[in-house]
Amino acid sequence: MEAFPPLNPRAPFIWYGGDYNPEQWPRAIWDEDLRLMQECGFRVATVGVFSWTALQPAEERFTFGWLDQVLDKLAAAGCQVCLATPSAAQPAWLSQRYPEVLRSDPTGRRRHHGWRVNYCPTSPVYRRLAAQMAAKLAERYHAHPALVAWHVSNEYAPACYCEQCAAAFREWLRRRYGSLDELNRRWWTRFWSHTYTDWSQIEPPYANGEGSIHALTLDYRRFQNEMLLECFTLEREAIRQFSPDVPITTNLMRFYRDLDYRLWAREVDVVAWDCYPSVEDEPLDIALAHDLMRSLRDGQPFLLMEQSPSSQNWQPYNTLKRPGELRLQSYQALAHGAESVMFFQWRRSRGGIEKLHGAVIEHSGRSDTRVFAEVRALGQELERLGARTLGGVTPAQVGLLFDWENWWALEDCSGPTREKRYLETLRAHYAPFWRRNVAVDLVFSDSELGRYRLLVAPLLYLLKEGLAERLAAFVQDGGTLLTTYLCGMVDECDLAFEDGYPGPLRHLLGIWNEEIDALPPGRTNRLVLNDGRSFACGHLCALIQSEGAEVLGRYGEDFYAGRPALTRHRVGRGQAFYLACEPEPAFLESFYGELLGELGIAPALETPPGVEATLRQTARERLLFLLNHGRAPATVTLPPGRVFEELLTGRSLSGSLTLAGLEVAILAEPLASESSRQAGS
């Protein structure tokens, strides 16, 4: 796998900076801001995210003078600018003059002005004015020496259920299905006599309306995702008229249910996201989210666009980051593919809902604070690190299949249980690899599968057209596939496959799913392996029959005791496993550990518990990131006979390395050494 080039030749360094909102503050503070930015090493400032009224106080009037001064001052101070369009929060004058711009809630009721992302994505007025602002910004600043990237809007969010969305949805359906007869057939509307006889009868899936046609709900999610994405691309194209060579992105939000980020990733020049873990999140949860963002564009590096330097303000418990956590989490982002370390926010707002959100500069305005000292130290360290990590890719041999449309369909399905646990199950299958320091890519229904040796596809309820054939080819060519209960149940319109489950995967898996038992909390069964080992299982248990698959484990209890619970079907040069139940974590730890050994997939490095090791490979060297997530020191044994350069200290290391609690090390090794070792072996 080749290293990717830097994101932008104008900024051949790790982007270090964050959201800067100078329009909130008197101009007397601006010079002090710039002095403190220089002191703590800020190199890139994101400007203009929520500045629509400051830039356009009335529809006929624009006021760019203050932004001219800010960009000029930033450039003079050696900072570059990620210039944002302000379209995430429309001005009050816009909502007042054009009330049809306001978003409607799931009952169809029009919202009042306020908050943000409170616009209808199909509104022609909103689209016209947002694109106009993007064009004016690009026309004015495309040649500004500080400009390094464009940031369109901010954290695109929920659906709208207004009448203009309903009308646009009907037209979208006409294009998708061609005829009302075809729509009725694919939606199976004969059930409960819900057949449509005129296009005008179709409404969005209102909270107080139609909710029994799952294909309708699924299509409305697709439609709203496309409408919001169109809003982004309209602004992007308005910018590209004047600024064709500067990267354009927007900030994503982890596993955000409402938007299919795989589709969005095709439209941005670089993936960027906002990392705000809760106090309950473990390091593996953050790692999984980073891996998702790296995977959205098939392994390309991404931008960590926002994180809090201290605390948040909207979680149930807004716990402070302990000393050292900010640095550790920042390097964890780099370890998983980030090219930036950015913050929200630079200076705490004096009012508004985020006035208590963490910032580099607190309300005191002082720089002799713990948080500022940590930000400054990290900036100095990243300055010394320079460009050594840029373009680094992650050599993953394991893929974890995730699909937004599958998530939508699965969670909206009525039965066999209300809690499908898609994300929880995804995490459970990711955890054994993360704990072993085995790199994992998130893969999607349209991903290239041949680069992986092992593909894990939990809860693959909805099968997109062609996916079953691609999975079969993957196994036939020597790949190993594991999928689970609820696999292969419906097509893209949420219609159950006529020949039962697992539908088109039946021959690949060599099993037939006869029934599914939903176990309430507290009730379990047993997964008993052929060697006698036994593990608790529950939640959902598929009652399957083998049609050629080898039975590796059976249920131990209830009326289906003795039935297959774990199977393997050898096809061509590969193998396909089917896990019929949700097992306890100990089973997945054991099973995947044995499978990795069988497949010869090695970890980045074997480390003590709590120490994460990841690899990134640039054009000239391998970079081994070591992160001690524990509070106590941990000693890591390095590969024998190899000497590493530790990039953060400049030391040469071999033998072993002791990491203090929350400590980080980045070990560099020339690729030539790797080639020599392989030749020698």
User: Hey, which residues are catalytic here?
Assistant: 155, 306
Q: Residue 130: what residue type?
A: A
> What are the DSSP calls for 100-154, one per residue?
GGB-B-TTSPBPPS-SSS-B-TT-HHHHHHHHHHHHHHHHHHTT-TTEEEEE-SS
Category of 558 on φ-ψ map: left (φ > 0), alpha (ψ -120 to 50) or beta: left
Nearest residue to 488 via CA among 461, 511, 513: 461
- The residues, any chain, with a CB within 8 Å of residue 251's CB and separated by 6 or more, are 151, 154, 155, 272, 273, 274, 305, 306
Task: State how far the Cα of 428 lies from the Cα of 482, in Å rounded to an integer.
Answer: 14
* Encoded tokens for 225: 């995702």
Q: Which residues, other chains included, contact 520 with Cβ-Cβ below 8 Å and sequence gap of 6+? A: none
Decide if 81 contacts 147 (C-beta within 8 A): yes
Distances (CA, A) of 374 to 35, 334, 612: 17, 17, 22
Angle at 90 between CA 84 and CA 93, to 5 degrees: 135
Cα–Cα–Cα angle for 397, 398, 403, rounded to 5 degrees: 130
Which pair of tokens denotes residue 402? 């995730």
Could you give the CA distance from residue 485 to residue 505 in angstroms, rounded to a whole number? 12
478: Cβ–Cβ under 8 A, 6 or more apart, which residues?
A: 453, 572, 573, 574
| Phi and psi, residue 223, nearest 5° | -60, -50
**To which H or E segment does residue 546 belong?**
strand 534-546
DSSP 8-state assignment for residue 610: T
Strands 272-274 and 251-252: parallel
The letter for the amino acid at 30 is W
Torsional sign, CA 279, 281, 286, 289 = negative
Max CA pair span of the chain: 77
Distance CA 379, CA 394 (A): 24
Rounded-to-integer distance, Cα 292 and Cα 338, Å = 12
Pairing type for strands 147-151 and 248-249 reads: parallel
The two three-digit tokens of residue 575, written as one number: 């193998």
Helix (H, G, I), strand (E, B) or coil at 164: helix
Locus of tokens 């593996």 = 284
Helices of type H across 548-623: 585-599
Contact 70, 405 (CB under 8 A): no
Tell me whether strands 480-484 and 574-579 are parallel, antiparallel or unpaired. parallel
- Count the Cβ atoms, other than its own, within 10 Å of residue 401: 26
Task: Tell me how far apart the alpha carbons of residues 456 and 452 are, in angstroms, rounded to a whole number.
Answer: 10
